[in-house]
Structure 1
Amino acid sequence: MIKWINKYKNCITALSGILIVIGFALKTLGYEAAVDYALILATLIAVVPIVHKAYLALRMKAFSIELLVTIAVIGALFIREYTESSVVTFLFLFGDFLEARTLEKTRSSLRSLIDMAPQEAIIMHGTDQVIVPVEEVAVGDRLFIKPGGKIPVDGIIVKGQAAINEAAVTGEAIPANKSLDDNVFSGTLVDEGFIEMIAEKVGDDTTFAKIIELVEEAQESKSKAERFLDAFANFYTPAIVVLSVIVYAWTRDLHLAITFLVIACPGALVIGAPVSNVAGIGNGAKYGVLVKGGEVMDRFSKVDTLVFDKTGTLTKGKPEVTDIHILSGVDRSELLQLTASAERISEHHLGQTIVKYAHQQGLETAEPKDAEVIKGHGLKATVDGRRLVAGNRKLMAQSGILINEAAESYAIAREKTGNTVVFAAIDGTLAGLFSIADQIREDAPQALAEMRRNGIKQIIMLTGDNRHTAQAVAEQLGLDAYHAELLPEDKVRFVKQLQADGAVVAMAGDGINDAPAIATADIGLAMGEGGTDISMETADVVLMADKLMQFSHAYSLSKATMRNMKQNIAIAVGVVFFLLAGVLMGSVHLASGMFIHEASILAVILNAMRLIGFNRKKSGTGSFSHERNLGNRAD
């Protein structure tokens, strides 16, 4: 029965409309006796799906709008108002039809994402190429992607190079050049060139699949306003029934009471908030911003304080070794090889930078033994029988390694030019210093300026890096405050203090060593190209393109979404009050009132649809001609 009604609901609506037109035509032609039959039949046909939904809601102990309409239609039939009963049921179903069609457009961003999902893959079997459904790809398979082809799973390039359009994942339309050892993601498109890749994540584990899952979950989640309106509707509907009874008892006018019942339906009020939520989240997905639900959007719009990690957030997170300063009898290549071997166990940006640099110099790294990572400071390991300690000043002090005056002076001089210095000691003696530099993101000044204009009161940087490098970043970006040489737990403490002082805090980090602070903040925001697993799980907002301008867009979008939601609530409440006043004054009748009621539902949906095309106001290109090199050790 349910499937039948849902399947033929549009046909029922159309048949009801045709019967109403026939009824009016018969009246014009003078066949008065047949008019009532046509209108009664139109009412009875159209009321079936309405009664069915009302019954299902009552079984769930909910008082729905359909229940009010059902009661009103029964009353209208009782007092022989067949024109109004037929017009009300038809308008209600027709409104449902338009509402469903329009709501589909608010989910267009998600639907376009789903349409981008790859369906096939080319697997390499020696020199043979076999086309298989994407579901059959397994981890470790070698895949070939030709020009114009979609990358079917996440993996790493082992042959070839290509310009890859990653808009499906990052929201960025400009193709990224990818070659040997670069990561590629499911759903992205090879614009030029070809690649062979090894599958690392398949099925529901791919980044693209997780994006779709997160957006679907977010669009189904509810904000505080939505939950309040749902609860309000459960009380409002029976209250309107009671008020209608009072109106009838007071006026003895059944027609007026029935009209009051229908006109007071809170349709636009109930749908106004969720449709704004769905459209806003869909817009975010379109621009590579994953906002995890209506409540996150609500909280984000109230943020007045931004807290940033440095490496990989305010800076590009792609540091390079700029200098190796030798202090003891060891030569440069030996120091680099030993340090890189020890850093193989490190997940930190700077440790991996040293490993990468050693490989670029043609050096082989050995497997470290007795390795120990000291969180926020560095690491210790034994390499080729020699004990190596690499990290910051605090680790040297904890390990009893002396930093002489000359080494300290050299380190400070490097830090003041924007480098991070990694101290390396061999067998208890300081052997050398690695200078590593990062660069501030080109879009950082423009993004931070936009967010200040949109209501951010203070911007603070919390970093594990040394104070000289932190000061250089803070001064260049005009930050309100910075705190350096912090451990992850120190960052958590600072965030909690800001919250205790009344600030609504958004914390942005790389989603790995900043996960505790991200989880503590009112809004946790992760930046990480391709969306690492931990960033997607920990953060409330994920920026897929790893760009601060996406942060600015997300913040502007949250404010626009909440404004839109408030506008919809105002439209709905205003229309209800207008109609009820008109009913009580006798100027609004059942059919005309129902028409205005349905129009108000469409008005709030169309208003919400404006969010689909929302884009923050462009305030310039954000040129950034004087980049400074800036690095970090324990960010």
Structure 2
Amino acid sequence: MSDIKTWMRGPWAVPIGSGAAILASFAAAHLVTSRSVVALPWSDALMIAAASIAGIPVILKASRALTARVVGIDLLVSIAAIGAVAIGNYWEAAAVTFLFAVGHALESATLNKTRSALAELVAVAPDIAIVMRHGLQVEVPAGSVANGETVLVKNGAKVPVDGVVTGGTGALDEASITGESMPAHKTLGDTVFAGTISTSGFLQVSATGVGADTTLARIIHRVEEAQDAKAKTQAFMDRFSAWYTPAIIALAVILGLATRDIVLALTLLVIGCPGALVISIPVSIVAGIGRGAKDGILIKGGEFLETSARIDAVCVDKTGTLTEGHPRLTDVFSLDPAWDRDDVLRIAAQAEAGSEHPLARPILDAAAQAELGTIGLPEHTEPMPGKGIVATVDGHRVAVGNMALMASESDSGAHYDAALVRVDALSGAGRTPMAVAWDGQIIGIVAVADEIRADAAEMVRRLHGAGVKKVVMLTGDIERVARAVGDQVGVDEVRAGLLPEGKLEAVAELQSQGYTVAMVGDGVNDAPALATADIGVAMGAAGSGVAIETADIALMRDDLLKLPQAIALARRTVNNMRQNIAVALLTVVTLLAGVLFGGVTMAVGMLVHELSVLVVIANAMRLLRDRGANLAKNREQQGSGQSRPASLIKPSGSISTMSPEPS
């Protein structure tokens, strides 16, 4: 009984009931004998019943819309159906309402398919978890796991929580989160996400995120919001429909009064339904955002999807974006005979111990590896944005940074000139040099380097292939180092030595030149530029709730090639929207011409109208196929005979104590 009630409330109950009544009416009309004159009223009654079954829900919906002062498609169909019944055109009334009901049911079914990415995400959400409580394995609802509890993930099971591996090893299918098809190997200390699936091994996971606090839940929430968010074109179409529908009603009234042909006026109402036009934009947006979600690309909404399709300039940070983001110490030099290289490294490490700058870590790591003893904290630390750091160590003033900092911290003497030469040579080699000063005297140089990502140059090539005119590297690093990286990667422009405000100004300058700018950064020192850019892109957002919620585009995996893929997807989606609008407008114009010049009936018009709606939806569903990215990839590979660039800095087993002699 419950199944029957569920089916009766489903989208197909109305069209099936109406269709059955229409067939019964035809049967009553054709199975009568010549002596049976009572069958005709039965045929008409069944046709009216068919129109009522399909038409009453439409009339009720139109009435509710009118109470909210909305004049929509349902009102056009309601007036046409009621008018057809009033003048005795029962077949026309039944055909119009039946076809409208069928179209509505098909539309619901196909729209559900365009939301398949969201449905798949919801489907992978885990229901149960196995946790260790009091030394026993206990099966509990996934939402009842407490943070800090140990969760067991066995082979073939879904990970029920976000967490950190505390024991065991295994491989997880993370496609639902990152879009990566290859399983990711997990071992002690690695992060895992709810909804991923174990393909091998056995993991013990300490829960850090449960229920709505998991990365999967945040992704589902973002996709839901994004698919419902309206693009500018869609908002325009909504405003257009608000004026268009009353205009069609007014035109039908005028045409009916002028021609005294009520059938013509009612037919005009049906033909003028802008159904395909209204649905042409949202169905493409839903499909495009769904395709992106499947590929690990979260787009905030329709407006950002449209803007992304216009991107023709991309600004990227160097450290952590074009490079691996894990710099290491490569060189240590002493410029003063009173200090050896261990002294220089130890003093630099003591000053950097109070710094949160990314380049502090490799200096501290190198000092620990060299076993220079305990590196204590400085008494005082003063960051110098864009220059370095000044610290008080054992009562002495220590400065570690670029030559701009040294110009204000040290005297100008032989060591200063030697430092300039050494810094220039290191910069030319693609390294980031930092001078070390002790109480105003430069005593040495340390240098660090970061390896260029293997796919950085490929990303730039694909961005150009996707229609991006200019790729600009924005970095706070010195000019020589930035140029060395830029030349390897193939960016169009390098802007170095920038403070956060300088990156913002660079983005604003490109916008003033007419570019639509996307900014890719780490969201910390790049925050002003990310906020100013037309599109802010966060990379490696898996597990980062802030990035998922705030970025215009969040690339769930730390994969540079996802960026050109996202832009290509946006362009495909907008092109799809334009195709749908063209189909919808052509259909309406053709049918209106057919009504005015004769030959198109009410039933034929509704049939063509519903077919156009299905064509629009089917066209949008093409976006769900992962064909565009693969074709673009193949074209890029065929069009480029160059191999990927080697890393700028080759890993070495030891820290260099000498550099090439400057020329």
Aligned to 2:402: 392
Amino acid at match of 1:373: P
Q: Could you tell me how far apart the structure 1 residues matched to 2:108 and 2:426 are? A: 62
Q: Could you tell me how far 1:342 is from its partner in structure 2?
A: 5.3
Q: Could you tell me how far apart the structure 1 residues matched to 2:520 and 2:26 are? A: 64
Q: Normalising to structure 1: TM-score of the pair?
A: 0.92
Q: Could you tell me how far apart the structure 2 residues matched to 1:604 and 1:339 are? A: 65
Q: Could you tell me how far 1:421 is from its partner in structure 2?
A: 2.3
Name the CA shift for 1:517/1:131 in 2 (closer, same or farther; >3 Å): same
Aligned to 1:618: 633
Q: Is the 8 A contact 1:528 1:546 kept in 2?
A: yes
Aligned to 2:525: 513
Which one is further off, 396-405 or 462-471?
Answer: 396-405
Aligned to 1:37: 45
Aligned to 1:500: 512
Q: Could you tell me how far apart the structure 1 residues matched to 2:348 and 2:150 are? A: 34
Among 333, 357, 371, the alignment partner of 2:381 is: 371
Q: Could you tell me how far 1:377 is from its partner in structure 2?
A: 3.1
Among 552, 560, 573, the alignment partner of 2:572 is: 560
Aligned to 2:26: 24
1:489 is aligned to 2:524: no
Q: Is the 8 A contact 1:488 1:517 kept in 2?
A: yes
Amino acid at match of 1:287: D
Q: Could you tell me how far 1:530 is from its partner in structure 2?
A: 2.2
Amino acid at match of 2:28: L
Among 54, 58, 66, the alignment partner of 1:46 is: 54
Q: Normalising to structure 2: TM-score of the pair?
A: 0.88
Aligned to 2:211: 203
Q: Could you tell me how far 1:332 is from its partner in structure 2?
A: 6.0
Secondary structure of the residue aligned to 1:548 is coil
RMSD: 2.7
Aligned to 1:607: 619
Percent identity for Structure 1 against Structure 2: 45
Aligned to 1:627: 647
Amino acid at match of 1:551: L
1:138 is aligned to 2:146: yes
Amino acid at match of 1:627: S
Q: Could you tell me how far apart the structure 2 residues matched to 1:430 and 1:182 are? A: 42
Q: Could you tell me how far apart the structure 1 residues matched to 2:344 and 2:103 are? A: 75
Aligned to 1:352: 361
1:419 is aligned to 2:431: yes
Which one is further off, 125-134 or 93-102?
Answer: 125-134
Q: Is the 8 A contact 1:5 1:49 kept in 2?
A: no
Q: Could you tell me how far apart the structure 2 residues matched to 1:336 and 1:75 are? A: 91
Name the CA shift for 1:359/1:610 in 2 (closer, same or farther; >3 Å): farther
After superposition, the C-alpha distances for 1:330-364 in whole angstroms (9 at most, x for unaligned) are 66667656655654554443233444555666776
Q: Could you tell me how far 1:415 is from its partner in structure 2?
A: 2.3
Which one is further off, 593-602 or 299-308?
Answer: 299-308
Which one is further off, 224-233 or 454-463?
Answer: 454-463
1:404 is aligned to 2:416: yes
Q: Is the 8 A contact 2:488 2:645 kept in 1?
A: no
Aligned to 2:584: 572
Among 427, 448, 465, the alignment partner of 2:477 is: 465
After superposition, the C-alpha distances for 1:202-240 in whole angstroms (9 at most, x for unaligned) are 333332222222111111111111000001111111111
Q: Could you tell me how far 1:314 is from its partner in structure 2?
A: 1.6
Aligned to 2:658: none
Aligned to 1:234: 242
Q: Could you tell me how far 1:401 is from its partner in structure 2?
A: 7.2
Q: Could you tell me how far 1:420 is from its partner in structure 2?
A: 1.8
Which one is further off, 591-600 or 437-446?
Answer: 437-446
Aligned to 2:75: 67
After superposition, the C-alpha distances for 1:117-169 in whole angstroms (9 at most, x for unaligned) are 22333333464333332222333333333333333333333333333332222
Which one is further off, 354-363 or 617-626?
Answer: 354-363
Q: Is the 8 A contact 1:386 1:427 kept in 2?
A: yes
Name the CA shift for 1:372/1:533 in 2 (closer, same or farther; >3 Å): farther
Q: Is the 8 A contact 2:378 2:392 kept in 1?
A: yes
Q: Could you tell me how far 1:432 is from its partner in structure 2?
A: 4.4
Which aligned pairs between 1:423-434 and structure 2 lie closer than 5 A? 423-425=435-437, 429-434=441-446
Question: Aligned residue pairs: how many?
Answer: 629
Amino acid at match of 1:264: G
Q: Could you tell me how far 1:373 is from its partner in structure 2?
A: 3.2
Secondary structure of the residue aligned to 1:404 is helix
Amino acid at match of 2:124: M
Q: Is the 8 A contact 1:438 1:630 kept in 2?
A: no
After superposition, the C-alpha distances for 1:559-596 in whole angstroms (9 at most, x for unaligned) are 11110000000000000011111111221101111111
After superposition, the C-alpha distances for 1:11-34 in whole angstroms (9 at most, x for unaligned) are 222111111111112222133332
Q: Could you tell me how far 1:545 is from its partner in structure 2?
A: 1.2
Name the CA shift for 1:79/1:181 in 2 (closer, same or farther; >3 Å): same
Q: Is the 8 A contact 1:146 1:190 kept in 2?
A: yes
Name the CA shift for 1:206/1:423 in 2 (closer, same or farther; >3 Å): farther
Q: Could you tell me how far apart the structure 2 residues matched to 1:630 and 1:266 are? A: 62
Name the CA shift for 1:76/1:380 in 2 (closer, same or farther; >3 Å): same
Amino acid at match of 2:189: D
Which one is further off, 345-354 or 518-527?
Answer: 345-354
Secondary structure of the residue aligned to 2:633 is coil
Which one is further off, 530-539 or 583-592?
Answer: 530-539
Q: Is the 8 A contact 1:40 1:86 kept in 2?
A: yes
Aligned to 2:226: 218
Secondary structure of the residue aligned to 2:268 is helix
Q: Could you tell me how far apart the structure 2 residues matched to 1:108 and 1:505 are? A: 31
Name the CA shift for 1:104/1:598 in 2 (closer, same or farther; >3 Å): same
After superposition, the C-alpha distances for 1:430-478 in whole angstroms (9 at most, x for unaligned) are 4544332222222222222222133222221111011111111221222
After superposition, the C-alpha distances for 1:533-562 in whole angstroms (9 at most, x for unaligned) are 443344311111122211111111111111
Among 298, 321, 328, the alignment partner of 2:306 is: 298
Structure 1: tracts of 5 or more residues without a match: none
Name the CA shift for 1:429/1:538 in 2 (closer, same or farther; >3 Å): farther
Q: Could you tell me how far 1:429 is from its partner in structure 2?
A: 4.7
Q: Is the 8 A contact 2:222 2:549 kept in 1?
A: no
